[in-house]
Amino acid sequence: MKIIKLLFTGCVAVFIAACTNDRKQATDSTDSVKAILDTTQNNIDVLSDIPWTAEMDSVSEKYTMKRSPIYSSEILTKDNVIESINRKYPENKLVWEGLKNDTAYVKIENSDYLTQSSGSTGARIFLAESTYSLTELPHVNVVYFDFTVGDHATPGPYTRTSFDFSMPQNNR
């Protein structure tokens, strides 16, 4: 009789241990799904492209600014706009410095590529795309670029009207 009680107690213990293990595996699975959802939710903030791009007309060879149709359904924040610009132009890394009134202040710590290597047209395109993209943010009408002046670009305030690609480059 003692042997039967002992066997019965052993079976119950094994059964309880098995049930507890299943709960732990279910909890681990739930935690994994939650982690995937949290990661996906965080990635929603990453823009697939910059909001505005400069496109050249192959016939007239003039540039125009075009709004990216991809971003229209995405939420714009200062962080994801800066990140998308930095992803496209890693050599001209923008750093958000702040917002005062309607002016966004950004800095390019190493502006050698922008001012010395990208050429006048490359610098204008970078500044135009950055300005147009950042002025998509609420309450931003001016972008003040802080960087060391060079041959192809000048720091200072830029608006969308600063970029008329049909005019010579030094007219802002």
Identify whether 79 is part of a domain.
Answer: yes
Q: Mark residue 146 as left, alpha or beta (left: phi above 0; alpha: psi -120 to 50; beta: remaining).
A: beta
Query: What order do you get walking across the sheet with 94-100 strand by strand?
Result: 94-100, 103-108, 142-146, 156-158
Looking at residue 156, its pLDDT comes to 97
In sign, the C-alpha dihedral spanning 33, 35, 36, 38 is: positive
Looking at residue 33, its pLDDT comes to 31
Q: Are residues 111 and 154 in the same domain?
A: yes
Q: Are 94 and 107 in contact (CB under 8 A)?
A: yes
Identify whether 145 is part of a domain.
Answer: yes
Q: Are residues 11 and 92 in the same domain?
A: no
Q: Which domain holds residue 2?
A: 1-43
Helices 78-88, 119-134: crossing angle, 10 deg rounding: 160
Identify whether 172 is part of a domain.
Answer: no
Check residue 7 and report its DSSP letter.
H
Looking at residue 56, its pLDDT comes to 85
User: Average pLDDT for consecutive 10-residue bins of the chain (172 residues)?
Assistant: 54 54 46 34 64 86 83 77 95 96 95 91 94 94 96 95 66 38
Looking at residue 9, its pLDDT comes to 57
Looking at residue 158, its pLDDT comes to 97
What's the pTM? Answer: 0.68
* 60-to-52, 55, 78, 99, 128 alpha-carbon distances in Å: 20, 11, 34, 37, 19
Three-point CA angle 83, 86, 88, nearest 5°: 110
Rounded Cα distance, 35 and 57, in Å: 45
Looking at residue 47, its pLDDT comes to 80
In total, how many domains does the chain have? 2
3 state DSSP class of 105: strand
Looking at residue 122, its pLDDT comes to 93
